[in-house]
Structure 1
């Protein structure tokens, strides 16, 4: 058992309160469990309990063993002098505050229903990738849907907060943040990190000055990406790019860029090679006056597809590496790839901006876009579909990814509405 189970039991009061008393036989009544403290200090704040004839307001600390108080060195921290009740699974040692007064303690070892404990242990140790798999049939559909709605918003909040944090480092410049986010997602999963580094080594303001010249955009992007070295410039077109990049690099005093070793090409199809994605990014930036404002103005999925669709230059329509022609020409980024960019870039940007200006209409727009994008299909979504979860749109598939990442995989069943429903059925009768 872990301490999180005892925290859960206290928070929901899932234990037998008949003749509840401290280790010194003083009667205990719980008026307020307190608020969960996720920062440093006691586990619950602003609790209220009656011990004996006195009503106390303060903090509650949770431990598996009373002696963990000393193990965690709470005796040296004056914040724990506010603890009015120590809730433990096993009371193995009497404890005192820094002023020498005893800390009231209740032991829950014999007050938790065995079925509740066993269900918790089963969830924690279940071999299935989704730990509640054996119990899902008994969970109402509304409970599952509510949890999916919750995790979808959690995912948007998390992605939005990351963008807001970046915004603070760029003087609230939404255009720059939009460019960096889009560039990173042109790398998709395999090359997202080097694309993001490239965007920081090549500011959008410079690219925007050359937006009308696709050749110069390619020179800047391929040069800073490390693909215009002597090794690659045996090709006539790449050699011309190298010469142009040399001029532009000197003009703008560009910092050191990336190297070939920074990019991943192993086991990728030619259409996913970083060189192809760079050419597609250059084509996307070509003739784009503004990025973020255009995203705000676009309303429908077709308008976003049109925004991101742009044919690459003739050379990259027929090559995936210098002097390596493609068997099947690639004119530009595909629709499925655009869907991923909308999901991972456009929608978080809209959500972050909506939060910053408190605009519910923009939040609704972001959610509506997700609902109108086809569902993603991968190893994770397949697992949930096999468990009879619907996967009709990107709203569903994004919710699955968040649910798996934050709750199912780390076995955080106690924080999940589905897990809570399963455990709630095993709580002791009042």
Structure 2
């Protein structure tokens, strides 16, 4: 059994309350169990209990064994002085606050409903499949599955927005610079996200702004700082690369950029098709920066996916439409629709949500998340597996929700935090003792 299960039992009050007493024999009446708290401090602050004839307001702490109190050093942590009840599976030792006063204990070991524990263990100990509850999904309503998928989607968008907000703080609250860093990393499409994120740091937007209307200088800065302008056998007779190299050398000295430049070996080519090679993606990013000078405003005000698709279809420089590596010619396709959809999903939506949170524009959050419903569903081994189990999968909103469900709940077996798993664990049915599982508390 995990401590997480005891949290669930206390939160929903799923235990036998007949003649409920502390280990010391004091009668307990639970007036309010408190709210679950996952940061530092007691597990359930905001609790209200009657112990004997006295009403207490404070916090409840949960452990499997009472001795875990000392093992976690709560006896020397003032945050735990507010604990009014220590809820445990086994009360093996008395515990005290920092001032030496005892903390009353409630032992639940003999009060747990056996069917509840059995159903929980059946979920978390199921074989490693996409959903531990897959064999039981027929017992779950479509409404519950939809609700949980939507909740997971919003949590995923919020996490991405949190990352954007952290970037925004790091960049002195400059939204244009935030958009530049987020776009640059996203143009790496996973395999090269990390070096492209470092390129954004190696090439501050303040420098790019000064040359945004000169395509040659813009390309020299981007490709020079990326390390793609070095002379070698393939580029020795390439006039375009030679010209950019000279321009970059001048700009590098002018702005003191040399130490921050990347080396060509820092880019990843393994298992990438030529259309995904780093110089190709960088060329597409260069074309976007040149054609869309005020790109943050454009991303913020675009009304729909069609407008954003037009925004991202800025043409790459002529050279990078006919070369997939410096000095190596080949026909290169334009930025594809599926790539644009990924950029909308991973950059535009969280960027707009982060900005909306910063400014308090609630309608912008709704319209931004709604963009995902306009995009087609993503197909991969996880989303397809969930779709095969009856989950809705008609748009990118569904795909993102299913990915979040898998990564945040199913894979780590956080079944008790999931509406689906929670419904299955508390499913009313006859238990071996003849008792029925009580309905959820209001």
Same fold (TM over 0.5): yes
Write the distance in 1 (CA, Å) between the matches of 2:346 and 2:387: 22
| Number of the residue aligned with 1:245 | 248
The answer to whether 1:106 aligns with 2:110 is no
| Number of the residue aligned with 1:417 | 419
Write the distance in 2 (CA, Å) between the matches of 1:83 and 1:29: 16
Alignment check: 8 A CA contact 2:241 2:327 kept: no
Q: How many residues align?
A: 428
Normalised to the residue count of structure 1, the TM-score between the two structures is 0.95
Over 3 Å counting, the alpha-carbon distance change for 1:208 and 1:69 in structure 2 is same
Alignment check: 8 A CA contact 1:198 1:258 kept: yes
CA drift at 1:221: 0.9
Write the distance in 2 (CA, Å) between the matches of 1:217 and 1:210: 6
- Matching residue within 383, 389, 392 for 1:390: 392
| Number of the residue aligned with 2:230 | 229
Structure 2 unaligned segments of length 5 or more: list them. Answer: 429-435
CA drift at 1:299: 1.2
| Number of the residue aligned with 2:318 | 314
Write the distance in 1 (CA, Å) between the matches of 2:132 and 2:222: 45
Write the distance in 2 (CA, Å) between the matches of 1:97 and 1:272: 60
The answer to whether 1:304 aligns with 2:313 is no
Over 3 Å counting, the alpha-carbon distance change for 1:429 and 1:37 in structure 2 is closer
The answer to whether 1:270 aligns with 2:274 is yes
- Matching residue within 404, 407, 410 for 2:406: 404
Moved more, 388-397 or 313-322: 313-322
| Number of the residue aligned with 2:19 | 19
Alignment check: 8 A CA contact 1:233 1:242 kept: no
Query: Residues 337-416 of structure 1 correspond to what in structure 2 (within 5 A)?
Result: 337-416=339-418
CA drift at 1:116: 0.9
CA drift at 1:258: 1.1
| Number of the residue aligned with 2:39 | 39
Write the distance in 2 (CA, Å) between the matches of 1:387 and 1:93: 47
CA drift at 1:300: 2.2
Write the distance in 2 (CA, Å) between the matches of 1:304 and 1:149: 24
**RMSD, aligned CA:** 1.7
Write the distance in 2 (CA, Å) between the matches of 1:46 and 1:312: 58
Moved more, 337-346 or 204-213: 204-213
Alignment check: 8 A CA contact 2:291 2:314 kept: no
SS in 1 for 2:192: helix
Over 3 Å counting, the alpha-carbon distance change for 1:368 and 1:97 in structure 2 is closer
Write the distance in 2 (CA, Å) between the matches of 1:126 and 1:222: 51
CA drift at 1:28: 1.3
Write the distance in 2 (CA, Å) between the matches of 1:97 and 1:350: 46
SS in 2 for 1:57: strand
Structure 1 unaligned segments of length 5 or more: list them. Answer: none
SS in 2 for 1:320: strand
Write the distance in 2 (CA, Å) between the matches of 1:306 and 1:100: 68
| Number of the residue aligned with 2:91 | 91
Normalised to the residue count of structure 2, the TM-score between the two structures is 0.92
Alignment check: 8 A CA contact 1:339 1:373 kept: yes
